[in-house]
Amino acid sequence: MITYYLKIAWRNFKSSKLFSLLNLLGLSVAIAVCIPLFLFIGKERSFDSGYANKDHIYRVNLIPHQKSDETWGSVPNAVAPAMMQDIPEISYAARMLKNGFGTPASLRVGQENFKEDLLYWSDPELFKIFDFQFTAGEGKNPLQEDNAAVINESESRRLFGEASPLGKTIIVDNGPTLVVRGVYKDLPDNSSIDPAMIANFKSSRMSRSIYWSNASYETFCLLKPGSDIKIVNQKVQALTAKYIKDPSDRWFSLSLQPLSEIHLHSAQVMDTYISRIGDIKTVRQIGLLGLLIILIACINYMNLATAKSEKRAREVGINKTLGATRKQMVLRFYADTALLAFLSVVTGFLLSFGSLFLFNSISGSHLAMTDLFGLPTLLFLMVIWVLVTLLAGSYPALLLSGSSALQLMQKRFHAGGLDRVLRKALVVVQFSCSIVLIIAIVIIYQQMRFVGNKNLGFKPDGVLMINISGVAKAQNLVGFTNEISQMPNVRNVAFLQSPPGFGASQRSLHKADAKSDLTLYTCHADAEVVPALGLHLLAGQSLPKQLAKTDSAVYVLANKKVVDFMGWTPEQAIGRKVDVDLGENAYIVGVVDNFNYLSLKSPIEPYIYYAANDAPESFNALMVKINTDQLAGTMDKIQSAFGKDVPSVAFDYSFLDSHLATLYNADRVMQRTVLLFSCLAIFVSCLGLFGLSAFMAEQKTKEIGIRKVLGASNFSISRMLSLHFLRLVVLSIIIGIPIAVYLMREWLSNFEYRIHISWLVVALAALSGLLIALITVSYQSVKASRANPVNSIKTE
């Protein structure tokens, strides 16, 4: 019986080519799109699942009292030892400090310098918490000695080639000398922690003082199996009260976050060194988009199948008189759909090699082609096959099998008009989705352009950032800065603690009569900061060029937010003392206009540049404003000067404007993904509309013939046929616009600086949707209207 059904299904497939091809194309494109999405979601959900202790590992997070809506992923360095000592449920706790609080390290191996982004200083307990696989060296307790370090296999190849790295030395940032004691297998792509090199925390400068103030140490702990997380959390909370004697210094509370939640539920967590961060929202959005495309393709099938059902009704009727039961008829229709769905799954699978490549390149993911042959993919395809068969096949199957043989064999079979209403409803659903997507594309594009062109309050173009955190003494740089300052294309050279787009130090701005302090960001800088960054001075001048050796004052260049809070005009502020936790003698020497030192997603906050002898923060970056006319030549000169003057440090540079662009990477990925999806969804919708209009035109051949005999023009006929669909599209627009506007407002609310949704833009987007539909439909309408009426009348 089943072969019989398949035989008929195959012949049906062949006999209605247009129908079959439209469906095949629509469904296989939808499936091809869903496969990479599925792999992406699978990978996101698999994060950190490879660790043996995964269910018992937690990260210690911090919630500052002053801003209780924030969560930080790092805590003071006293937390881990205190947890180990005080809480019996904690087996191990380990700190993971990224070198220089996140700035790349400069490694010296033999005579060569390497830049290293992924050097972490950690406790030996880390290896009890996470299982690392050691391929060389003594794996059990690799960080036994204070100066021990371990590296992963890629790092070993990069630094030492094929030679064994064991026992070799590495000098970090011209400071501590480390000895390699082990090599571990590279951690998998789906691990949240990503160290290429781990050195004993005890060798780090940061281990010299253990304190409860500076929260910069990402801390992981392993709970004993069977411990009650609630109780442990309480005990962790109690640590601050025990160890911080002065209640006014207890500025935060602690909480544990399970490892399994770190990847997808930490998008809002600040101050973490983990860079492989996903977002459950993105995963959901992407899953939803994938489902939407499958749904649209299924709707196509249902629409076309019911449109065709009037043709097939007779056949069902005959089968019923020949003794077919309802069940058998239902099975037949499912066999039809199952065959088509199967062919689509196979085609979609083949197409997915291309779509996976496309997805990787637009989203920056690294999904492997080999994943396509994995068991999960095959299971997914099976599920899709069954799902599509049930979803798309049910309506025609149940509609036709439920009607009586006599009804079915009548010349014109109508299922009480229900099928027509449903068909219209489905077209409206489908096109509403398309309209929403078209509007989304336009608004996302507008917003990203707005972000790109927004006046940041400084000029990031042509600013070269050189990482100098590896340089032990600033004096070593004098020769270098002097040399490049002489170059004709170099305009300014400024020393900075951290460039815009990177975090700065957080301090408090105190005001005598105010109840609460204001969080303020401070950045150690020099006089050249104003011209190098193109800051706009409102009053006063830049920081002093030279400080006398005995000068104990702190010179402050404040942004307008600071003086606004203090209640001064920029002019009034000059020469005033400010209390910003930088000592007693901090004076404002200049005021600059507000500028966006972070991404446009966050509001501008009080920010100061300061200059002082014995500043608490060192310089980490050189900002070199250059004339980009002969960029390559200038860069060569700068690089060779650096190599000559600072031979012990790797030349690590980037451009400020391209760095700032990376702040919107996630949004750009979102923009491109939505664009691709939307185009595909609209394409698939149009396939359906095209097919449907073809069937409608075919069904109305007789009516068209009669109308033409009665004198109707070609134009009036095609208008009649097109209008039928355009009414539905207009309805879709009415439904789609409010949904789109709502969703886009939600998305825009992520940005502190955003465009207003213009009704004109929305209307134009909707109109373009209408136009696309019109073009799709009119092909069939025009074709039908131009046919010879004699032929069309004969069809009955």
Partner 1 sequence: MIELANLSKWVKAGGNQTFLLKDINLKIDKGDFVSIMGPSGSGKSTLLNVIGMLDDYDEGQYLFDGEDVGGLKEKAKQSLHKDHIGFVFQAYHLIDELTVYENIETPLLYQNMKSAERKAIVADMLDRFQMVGKKDLFPAQLSGGQQQLVGIARALVANPDIILADEPTGNLNSKQGEEIMDIFTRLNKEDGVTIIQVTHSEKNAAYGHRIINLLDARIEN
324/741 with CB nearer partner 1: 324
Chain positions 60 to 119 lying near partner 1, rule: CB under 8 A, are: none
In whole angstroms, give the CA distance from residue 123 to residue 78: 12
Q: Taking CB under 8 A as the rule, does residue 6 contact partner 1? A: no
Stretch that binds partner 1, among 83-91, 317-325, 380-388, 781-789 (CB under 8 A): 317-325
User: Does 18 interact with partner 1 (rule: CB under 8 A)?
Assistant: no
Phi/psi at 758 (5° precision): -90, 135
Out of 231, 318, 418, 763, which residue is the one contacting partner 1 (CB under 8 A)? 318
* Window contacting partner 1 (CB under 8 A); options: 23-31, 312-320, 373-381, 432-440: 312-320
Our CB check for partner 1 shows the closer of 97 and 340 to be: 340
- Closest by CA to 339, choosing from 17, 4, 9, is 9
Determine contact, residues 565/578, Cβ cutoff 8 Å.
no
In one letter, which amino acid is 737? I
**Segment interacting with partner 1, rule: CB under 8 A, options 6-14, 432-440, 484-492, 552-560:** 6-14
Nearest to 712 by CA among 792, 773, 596, 655: 792
Residue 241 as a binder of partner 1 (CB under 8 A): the answer is no
Is residue 669 a contact residue for partner 1 (CB under 8 A)?
A: no
- 71 or 319, CB closer to partner 1? 319
Per residue, the 3-state secondary structure of 457-488, as one string, reads CCCCCCEEEEECCCCCCHHHHHHHHHHHHHCC
Packing angle of the helix pair 759-785, 665-699 (nearest 10 deg) = 30
Stretch that binds partner 1, among 133-141, 249-257, 316-324, 389-397 (CB under 8 A): 316-324
Binding mask 268-307 for partner 1 (x = CB under 8 A): ----------------------------------------
Nearer to partner 1 among residue 307 and residue 543 (C-beta): 307
Single out the residue of 8, 358, 764, 793 in contact with partner 1 (rule: CB under 8 A): 8
Q: Is 166 in the site for partner 1 (CB under 8 A)?
A: no
Q: Which residue, 265 or 311, is less far from partner 1 as judged by CB? A: 311
Q: How far is the CB of 400 from partner 1 (least distance, A)?
A: 14
CB nearer to partner 1: pick between 7 and 727? 7
Helix axes 631-645, 478-486, angle to 10 degrees: 150
- # binding residues, partner 1 (CB under 8 A): 22
From 118-126, 309-317, 374-382, 498-506, give the range in contact with partner 1 by CB under 8 A: 309-317
Using CB under 8 A, pick the residue from 136, 277, 324, 398 that binds partner 1: 324
Helix (H, G, I), strand (E, B) or coil at 176: coil
- Kindly tell me which residue out of 328, 347, 476, 618 binds partner 1, with binding defined by CB under 8 A: 328
Q: Are strands 169-172 and 215-223 parallel, antiparallel or unpaired?
A: unpaired
Binding residue for partner 1, selected from 203, 266, 319, 792, defined by CB under 8 A = 319
Contact 123/94 with Cβ under 8 angstroms? yes
The reply on whether position 4 binds partner 1 by CB under 8 A is yes
State the DSSP H helix or E strand holding residue 588, giving kind and residue range, or none if neither: strand 586-592
Give least dist CB 688 to partner 1, A. Answer: 24
Scan residues 29-48 and list those touching partner 1 (CB under 8 A): none
Q: How far is the CB of 337 from partner 1 (least distance, A)?
A: 16
- Other C-beta atoms closer than 10 Å to the C-beta of 85 total 11
Q: Which of 125, 132, 129, 169 is nearest to 147 (CA)?
A: 169
Q: Are 183 and 159 in contact (CB under 8 A)?
A: no
**Nearer Cβ to partner 1 (328/347):** 328
Of 1 and 710, the one with the shorter C-beta distance to partner 1 is 1
Q: Rounded CA gap, 441 and 736, in Å?
A: 14
Shortest reach from residue 420's CB to partner 1, in Å? 23
Cβ at position 390, least distance to partner 1 in Å:
24
Q: Encode 28-96 in three state secondary structure.
A: HHHHHHHHHHHHHHHHHHCCCCCCCCHHHEEEEEEEECCCCCCEECCEECCHHHHHHHHCCCEEEEEEE
Token readout for 270 is 């600040």
Pairing of the two strands 148-152 and 177-184:
parallel
Complex with partner 1: residue 128 or 314, whichever CB lies closer = 314
Question: Is the Cα torsion angle 342, 347, 353, 359 positive or negative in sign?
Answer: negative
Q: Which of the stretches 32-40, 49-57, 320-328, 737-745 binds partner 1 when contact is defined by CB under 8 A? A: 320-328
Query: Is position 698 an interface residue for partner 1 (rule: CB under 8 A)?
Result: no
Task: Tell me how far, at minimum, the Cβ of 318 lies from partner 1, in Å.
Answer: 5
Strand order in the sheet with 607-611: 505-509, 518-524, 607-611, 554-559, 586-592, 537-540
SS3 541: coil
Is residue 617 a contact partner of residue 505, using CB atoms and an 8 Å limit?
yes
Residue among 161, 247, 323, 575 that touches partner 1 (CB under 8 A):
323
Q: Does 325 bind partner 1 (CB under 8 A)?
A: yes
Cβ distance to partner 1 smaller for residue 315 or 517 = 315
> Which residue, 321 or 361, has its beta carbon nearer to partner 1?
321
- Return the closest-CA partner of residue 363 out of 304, 484, 279, 462: 279
Give the largest CA-CA distance in the chain: 109
Site string for partner 1, 438-467 (x = CB under 8 A): ------------------------------
Instruction: Write each residue from 752 to 791 as x if it is in contact with partner 1 (CB under 8 A), else as -, in one continuous string.
Output: ----------------------------------------
**726: contact with partner 1 by CB under 8 A:** no
Stretch that binds partner 1, among 2-10, 93-101, 442-450, 575-583 (CB under 8 A): 2-10
Segment 495-524, which members bind partner 1 (CB under 8 A)?
Answer: none
Nearest approach, Cβ of residue 368 and partner 1 (Å): 44
For residue 253, the 8-state DSSP code is E
- Does 314 bind partner 1 (CB under 8 A)? Our answer is yes
Phi, psi (deg, nearest 5) at residue 712: -70, 145
Rounded Cα gap, residues 730 and 374, in angstroms? 44
The residue (of 1 and 288) whose beta carbon lies closer to partner 1 is 1
Output the smallest distance, CB 389 to partner 1, in A.
Answer: 20
Please enumerate in sequence order all residues whose Cβ is within 8 A of that of 372, keeping only pairs 6 or more positions apart, or say none.
Answer: 35, 39, 349, 352, 353, 356
Q: Over 275-294, what HEC string results?
A: CCCCCHHHHHHHHHHHHHHH
Q: How far apart are CA 321 and CA 313, in angstroms?
A: 13
Closest to partner 1 by CB, 15 vs 268, is 15
Q: Which is nearer to partner 1, 23 or 432 (CB)?
A: 23
Locate 467 and state its tokens.
């990482």
Identity of the residue, 1 or 52, whose beta carbon is nearer to partner 1 in the bound complex? 1
* Helix or strand holding residue 189 (H, E): none
Residues 383-422 that bind partner 1 (CB under 8 A): 404-406, 409
Closer CB to partner 1, 276 or 311, in the complex: 311
- Closest approach of partner 1 to the CB of residue 319, in Å: 7
Burial class (CB in 10 A: 0-12, 13-18, 19+), 643: middle
Among 322, 632, 710, 760, binds partner 1 (CB under 8 A): 322
796 binds partner 1 (CB under 8 A): no
Residues that bind partner 1 in the complex, under the rule CB under 8 A:
1, 4, 7-8, 11-12, 15, 314-315, 317-319, 321-325, 328, 404-406, 409
